[in-house]
Amino acid sequence: MNKYRSIIKADYLQRTRSYIFIITLLASAFAAYSFVPDDNAPYSTVRIGNYVGYNNAAWIGHVTAIMTSVFLWVVGFYIVNNGIRRDGETGVGPIIASTSISNYAYLFAKSLSNFLILLTITGVTILIALGLVIYRGQEYTFNIVQFLMPFLLVTLPGLFCLSVLAVFFEVVFGNKTNLLNILFFVLFLFIVAITSASNNPNVIWFDVIGIKYLTDQLALFVSSNIPNGEHEISVGFIIDGSNKPSHFLFEGSHFSLFYILSRLLWIGTSLGLLAISAKLFNRFESKRKKPSKTKKSISAEALEESNNQKIKLAGLSKTSTDYSILPLVKTELKLLLSYGPKWFWLVNLAGFIALLVMPLNTAHQIGLPVLWFLQVNRWATLSTKEKHFGTGSFIFSTYKPIQRLLSAQLFAGILLALTFALPLLLRFALVGETSNLFEIVLGAITLIAFSIFSGIIFSGKRFFEIVFFIITFFIIQGGGFADYLGCLQSGHSYLFVQISMSLILIFLAFVARNLALSKY
């Protein structure tokens, strides 16, 4: 048991002491508060037709459990999917590999560490939800069972499956983080689509997140008590506007034995997935390259002759000084284009063609955000590669590293982003939608400036990956508050917001780089 405790404790403490975890915890606390709007709020989070529940313990427990499950599946994977990779980078992995701990025990400890991280965030959410029950539901009966059961049967099993899934993806894909992020993104959208589109009650057996059963119970309660009302379920931040919802008193759900068995089945499936991961785990063994047989050895005579040759200064070419940033832009573009596997450009080509054939609004709201998200690791490496490869002291000692190098990174990233968006830009130009052209260009500037700024501030790409995933997901779901490229909003005021945001992020990126240079 000590071998589990040591790995879990060390991993948990290392992660919880990071700035990203603290920021995520604060964001989770704010999100938990916003999950339960008061009666006069202009939005709702879980809505059945035109009805929402009064803020009693049962309703707050169900709503918070649903929103927490979705929220942590969105961001949780990107928080915990680097445990094994970090052990390899820090040199801890080979030390663990030399001990007697089995692959399954090590991966199980990593999964439990992931689960504890997500459980900590969930605990904060539960405490805030409990405070909201006391603050907003004083006149209602406090039902502790209906408040806690959604968390115990929905949120926690789903987060355990997510913790194991993160370990499985790390074992299978290793350092191929680009492929790992994209496959999880596709998997998450597939799970959400298949569970929300089907009305078959048996779909709960395939719902690893677990919220389908809760939403069905809410719809069933409304249909039983308000037979003439609409029963369509909406989950997310729904702006009510002038259409204020009606309220009903929700008394709780009946958790059937079949649903409980389905949650236990997913836990068992996760343990089986962990056993497969243990078989595939290479135990931090690095592949060694065999020496090339074609390489000829240098004879002692040739080596001595080479050492005796004198360098003739007159024959050397004269150096010339060029302070232009164009060579740097070209170099940054080459680095961006060379990142990732070559076959992935077939995926990018398919996305490029899709922007030509998709309906214009769909291409703008779904096609372009997804295509840009597929390049998440390219954008994330713009300002982090110097730290990753240890070349910062060399690169930042060059002539005007901020004005030249940072500007080159910014220009290269924007140019590549607009190249991916070229089909959409041409289509908007042909139909005369000039405002959309400006919005996409400003969106590219905002995206690249934010990637550079977050990479410098947090000394890594984890924060950018999490935030970019959340933004992309909400844009696809129609969340106008996350719109940074003008697919859901328009007008002069929105253009002003875009311009201001892009300029602020560019300014912050230069300030952050200037502060970072003081450390060298």
Query: For residue range 74-89, what is the model confidence (pLDDT) as tens digits?
Result: 888 888 888 888 888 7
Query: For residue range 346-387, what is the model confidence (pLDDT) as tens digits?
Result: 889 999 999 999 999 889 989 999 999 988 888 988 888 887
Global confidence as pTM: 0.75
Average model confidence (pLDDT) for the chain?
84
Chain center to CA of 492: 31
**Top-confidence residue, 98 or 417:** 417
**pLDDT beyond 60 at 293:** no
**pLDDT beyond 50 at 425:** yes
With DSSP H G I counted as helix, E B as strand and the rest as coil, what are the percentages for the chain, rounded to 5?
A: 70, 5, 25
Q: Do the strands 43-48 and 233-239 form a parallel or antiparallel pair, or are they unpaired?
A: antiparallel
Largest CA distance in the chain: 98
**Rounded Cα gap, residues 440 and 425, in angstroms:** 8
**pLDDT beyond 90 at 159:** yes
**Top-confidence residue, 309 or 193:** 193
Spatial CB neighbours of 497, under 8 Å, sequence gap ≥ 6: none
Mean pLDDT of 251-278: 91
Q: Do the strands 246-248 and 51-53 form a parallel or antiparallel pair, or are they unpaired?
A: parallel
pLDDT band at 263 (very low <50, low <70, confident <90, very high): very high
The total of other beta-carbon atoms located within 10 Å of residue 498's CB is 22
Judged by DSSP in three states, 239 sits in: strand
What pLDDT is recorded for position 299? 59
The total of other beta-carbon atoms located within 10 Å of residue 3's CB is 15
**Rounded Cα gap, residues 224 and 145, in angstroms:** 22
pLDDT band at 298 (very low <50, low <70, confident <90, very high): low
Phi then psi dihedrals of residue 390, to 5 deg: 70, 30
The most confident of 159-173, 179-193, 311-325, 475-489, by mean pLDDT: 159-173
What pLDDT is recorded for position 229? 62
Which of 473, 500, 477, 499 is closest to 75 using CA atoms? 473
Q: Which range is least confidently modeled, 28-32, 430-434, 448-452, 474-478?
A: 474-478
**Tokens encoding 507:** 């300014």
Mean pLDDT of 56-71: 91
DSSP 321-342: ----SHHHHHHHHHHHHHSS-T
Query: For residue range 111-131, what is the model confidence (pLDDT) as tens digits?
Result: 999 999 999 999 999 999 999
What pLDDT is recorded for position 288? 46
Percent of the chain whose pLDDT exceeds 90: 29
Place of tokens 């030509």: 356
Judged by DSSP in three states, 48 sits in: strand
Q: Which residues pair with 495 in a beta bridge?
A: none
pLDDT band at 246 (very low <50, low <70, confident <90, very high): confident
